Amino acid sequence: MVYNFNPGPAVVPAAALREAAANLVDFRGQGMSIVEMSHRGQVYEEIHQQAIDRCLRLYGLGPEFTVLLLQGGASLQFAMVPMNLLRPGQSADYISTGHWSQKAVEEVGLVGRTCRLAGSSEAADFSYIPAQAELDLDAQAAYLHLTTNNTIYGTQFQALPRSGGVPIVADMSSDLLSRPLPWDGIGLAYGGAQKNAGIAGLTVVIARREWLDRASVEGVPTVMRYATHTKSNSLYNTPPVFAIYLFGLVLQWIEAEGGLAGIDARNQHKAGLVYAAIDASAGFYRGHARPDSRSLMNLTFKLPDAALDARFCSQAEKAGLIGLKGHRSVGGVRASLYNALDPAGCQALAEFMRDFARQHA
């Protein structure tokens, strides 16, 4: 048995993979594969719309929100957000909690817009999420950008900050569809599907329609305007049809698991198994994230020295625990416990951790 702890592309629900495999050559008796069909045809358009509708339903969102099914990953959104939502003379606030939020800040300057840091945990090696009292928020900011979960460092916003009425833009690439969220303060959220919601190639954008209606289009290339994709229902150009099909299947699986409340309970349980092994190790395993900022998605920790880190990952792989090597900028171990990872995998990892600590402490 193999358990996949890779940080992305990551584990996909087995039920979704089986259904996709069964329909890949001949999609539901159509005589051709889903990847061969026209994206303008009725069969695909139904798949497309059902995915959008199901995503909104899972988050409990009404017609005031829209879902865009795009490409380019979060990296493209780093540019699209300021290009569309920052007008000349405006500034946005950014909270820097890791590598990807830093990339988002850099992109603002590269597209000729302006932002300011409203908070950062860089001085502490991004080991925590800044508390509300640490934030320096501008009441006149066009938006407040944050990364809800930091894949590399293993930190996560336990609750969204109070933004004082400034719309929040959330990069949710590594905790998209992993828990319920209060959407009253969110103007736009985005994330790649390849961690919790499907396979690589699809970027999901969820946004308030009225906010996108006010977005700037002056000087913005047509394909990078939110308005372009809103008006065309994400069919302006050929969409990533297979990734969207898988997205829809994963959303069905999430519904069958009890929706986002059920998935959240599942993820809380899984993370609790591994964090318990860390906390009970008497310091043999040292978590990178402060306890009040711990992620349910990416659990990062180190052993007493780099040699033991490497031995741990090597032996874990032989035991069927795949993808545990930490990011090169942090080192150590990283266990990514995305939605589709079976709880049995977390139990197996926790047992392996206890055995390894007994042998090497």
- The residues that are catalytic are 100, 171, 195
Rounded to whole angstroms, what are the CA distances from 32 to 15, 43, 238, 244? Answer: 22, 11, 18, 17
Please tell me the distance from the alpha carbon of residue 16 to that of residue 14, in angstroms, as a whole number: 5
Quickly count helices (H) and strands (E) in the chain.
10, 14
- Candidates 332, 359, 356; CA nearest to 127 is 332
The first and second tokens of residue 172, run together, are 């949710």
Q: What is the DSSP string of 117-186?
A: EEEE-GGGTT-SPPPGGG----TT-S-EEEESEETTTTEE-SSPPP-TTPPEEEE-TTTTTSS----TTE
| 63 Cβ contact partners less than 8 Å away, ≥ 6 residues apart | 209
DSSP strands (E only) in 245-293: 286-287
Is the Cα torsion angle 229, 233, 235, 240 positive or negative in sign? positive
The Cα-based distances of 79 to 113, 224, 252 in angstroms read: 10, 9, 31
* Distance (Å, whole) CA 52 – CA 35: 19
CA distance 96 to 99: 8
